[in-house]
Structure 1
Amino acid sequence: MDYFAQQLINGLVLGSIYGLIAIGYTMVYGIVGMINFAHGDIFMIGGFIALITFLVLVSFGLTMVPVILLVVLLVSMAVTALYGWTVERIAYRPLRQSFRLAPMLSAIGMSFVLMNFAQVSQGARVKPVPPIVTGGYTLHEGSDGFVVQVSNVQILVVITTVLLLGIFTWMVSRTRLGRDMRACEQDQTMAALLGVDVDRTISMTFVIGAALASVAGMMYLLYYGLVDFFMGFLAGIKAFTAAVLGGIGSLPGAMLGGLLIGLIETLWSAYFSVEYKDVAAFSILIIVLIFMPTGLLGRPEVEKV
């Protein structure tokens, strides 16, 4: 039971990271109706920006961990948001009125561009970083000597995820930008006729999604202590799976899907062969979609006539 509790904690932390990335997928799909396949690489860029910012701050002699984390978070979100805005302007906006396959192919091409840009500029080797947030708490010590622990970095990941999800949910439901997003999701043409700046709203959607992905990249760096140019592909595929599992287009569904994928992956690795953890996650996705084609919290699309 202690071993299961420890893996449950690990799965929730990993799922929180997947959920933050999945929100970006579901936001773009909900408004534009397209899958941003470059979003996983935006997450990777966020991790690299966080690493570079951390090294620069340390080189200047800054040692206060809370200050370092705050500065790294703000810089990473700002720079990565700029990447998200650039992807929308280059890969999506010129092709928005084209046939549906064109933006998807353009996004896949942008994914390779970002991946190879990171490989050329930062190198192909894994970039490790020493532990920044250390320490933790012992929750339970079993009779067999197994200790259930939760580290400070795990607590930080979960708290950050819950806080950002709350802020973003409030923004979508209570602010003018959120109302514009919901209007564009329902009908872009009618929203434009009612005075909504559709181009600006879509750009801000990409910017906010990229900022959330950068937070996930920073949490990944803190949790695993490394980044590499290829991590965006794997994490992006799993986050996309999480968005589909939860119901793409649903923000709570994206987070729920991320948590489920994280738990499935962690528990399968703990009790079965680690080589097949991805097979288990995708198998669960297939089973869910057979019986619930719109995902766990997704809504069936209503065709506009």
Structure 2
Amino acid sequence: MLDLLKQLINGLQVGSIYALVALGYTMVYGIVKLINFAHGDIIMVGSYVCLMAIPILSAAGLPLWLCAVGAALFCAILGVVIERVAYKPLRNSPRISALITAIGVSLLLQNVFMLLFTATPKPFPAIFTGGNVTLGGGFTVSFITLLTILVAVVLMVLLQLFIKRTKIGKGMRAVSEDAGAAQLMGISVNTTISVTFAIGSALAAVAAVLYSSAYPMIDPYMGSFLGIKAFVAAVLGGIGSIPGAMVGGLAMGVVESLTKAYISSQMADAVVFLILIVVLLVKPTGIMGKNIGEKV
């Protein structure tokens, strides 16, 4: 039982990271109907920005975890720049054009950081102090595991409150429903889309710091597969649904952890994608997605 509980907690840890990244995919898709495949590489950018900020913070005598704030701000700005430069000019073009552009931006980010830092993996220093935490009955959990789950849950709740309660959040929901009607009502579609990219990219940066702290080796290609898994989590939960991205990410993390523990570590990714296929065959809109009729 203790071993099962440990695997569940490990699954919630990695699932929390998937969920944070999946939120970026699902928010962008919900508003502009774009699968931003460059989003996974924002994770990589966040890790490297944090790595560069650590010596500065250390020299200034500041807490090292503040690098997460700097990484979130940098990635938020980067997300807005990418949207304005690469995606905005193609907003009224066929979706395949924007999709190809997203892949191009992804390759650009990977190669730029490979030129800057080489392809050699670099160790990520420990920025969070704390050892194992005893929960009772001799059961211990690492501090970074609990911190990852706690930060992810808090950010998800804050994002949900932001979408539901704030003026900008209501504008995002309006643009998601009907961009043309929202614009007629005085909502700035461009600003709303930029805010969406900024929030999604900032969440990806936070996920990058948490992921790099748990698995302390980073390289220019680290965001590719992690981004794909987060995209699968978004589709699993229901692409376009913020609660769905949370549920999909957590479910995917738990399934992956249990598969590694009780079936085979080599089969973990295959089982996750198999579950995705089954869910899409049974309920193509995902776990929490809804069927939406379109006028033709």
The Cα shift of 1:98 comes to 0.5
Q: Tell me whether 1:124 sits opposite 2:115 in the alignment.
A: no
Q: Tell me whether 1:95 sits opposite 2:90 in the alignment.
A: yes
Partner of 2:21: 21
Partner of 2:244: 253
Say whether the 8 Å CA contact 1:50–1:217 is kept in structure 2. no
Partner of 1:54: 54
Equivalent position to 1:277, from 265, 268, 276 = 268
Counterpart amino acid of 1:202? I
SS in 2 for 1:138: strand
The Cα shift of 1:139 comes to 3.3
Q: Tell me whether 1:222 sits opposite 2:200 in the alignment.
A: no
**Residues 229-265 of structure 1 deviation map (CA, whole Å, 9 limit, x = unaligned):** 1111010000000000000111111011001111111
The Cα shift of 1:140 comes to 5.2
How has the CA–CA distance of structure 1 residues 139 and 303 changed in structure 2, closer, same or farther, with 3 Å as cutoff? same
Q: Which segment is superposed worse, 162-171 or 9-18?
A: 162-171
Say whether the 8 Å CA contact 2:237–2:286 is kept in structure 1. yes
Counterpart amino acid of 2:46? G
Q: Which segment is superposed worse, 263-272 or 252-261?
A: 263-272
Q: Which segment is superposed worse, 174-183 or 17-26?
A: 174-183
The Cα shift of 1:138 comes to 2.7
The Cα shift of 1:8 comes to 0.8
Partner of 2:132: 136
Q: Which segment is superposed worse, 261-270 or 246-255?
A: 261-270
Partner of 1:106: 101
Equivalent position to 1:154, from 130, 145, 152 = 145
The Cα shift of 1:43 comes to 1.3
Counterpart amino acid of 2:11? G
Which runs of 5 or more residues in structure 1 are unaligned? 142-146
Q: Tell me whether 1:241 sits opposite 2:232 in the alignment.
A: yes
Task: Give distance in 2, aligned partners of 1:105 and 1:172.
Answer: 29
Which runs of 5 or more residues in structure 2 are unaligned? none
Counterpart amino acid of 2:85? I
Say whether the 8 Å CA contact 2:43–2:205 is kept in structure 1. yes
**Residues 254-296 of structure 1 deviation map (CA, whole Å, 9 limit, x = unaligned):** 0110011111111111112211211010000001111111000
Say whether the 8 Å CA contact 1:25–1:243 is kept in structure 2. yes
Scaled by the length of structure 2, what TM-score is found?
Answer: 0.96
Counterpart amino acid of 2:187? V
Task: Give distance in 2, aligned partners of 1:18 and 1:102.
Answer: 27
Counterpart amino acid of 1:100? R
Task: Give distance in 2, aligned partners of 1:296 and 1:8.
Answer: 20
Task: Give distance in 2, aligned partners of 1:26 and 1:158.
Answer: 20
Partner of 1:4: 4
The Cα shift of 1:61 comes to 5.2
Q: Tell me whether 1:267 sits opposite 2:258 in the alignment.
A: yes
Runs of 4+ in structure 1 off by over 3 angstroms are none
Question: In angstroms, what is the RMSD of aligned CA positions?
Answer: 1.4
Task: Give distance in 2, aligned partners of 1:256 and 1:44.
Answer: 24
Say whether the 8 Å CA contact 1:51–1:221 is kept in structure 2. no
SS in 2 for 1:300: coil
Task: Give distance in 1, aligned partners of 2:55 and 2:4.
Answer: 36
Counterpart amino acid of 1:148? F
The Cα shift of 1:301 comes to 2.0
Task: Give distance in 2, aligned partners of 1:270 and 1:140.
Answer: 22
Q: Tell me whether 1:37 sits opposite 2:37 in the alignment.
A: yes
SS in 1 for 2:140: strand
Counterpart amino acid of 1:68? L
Equivalent position to 2:168, from 160, 177, 190 = 177
The Cα shift of 1:304 comes to 4.1
SS in 1 for 2:139: strand
SS in 2 for 1:294: coil
Partner of 2:154: 163
SS in 1 for 2:36: coil
Partner of 1:68: 64
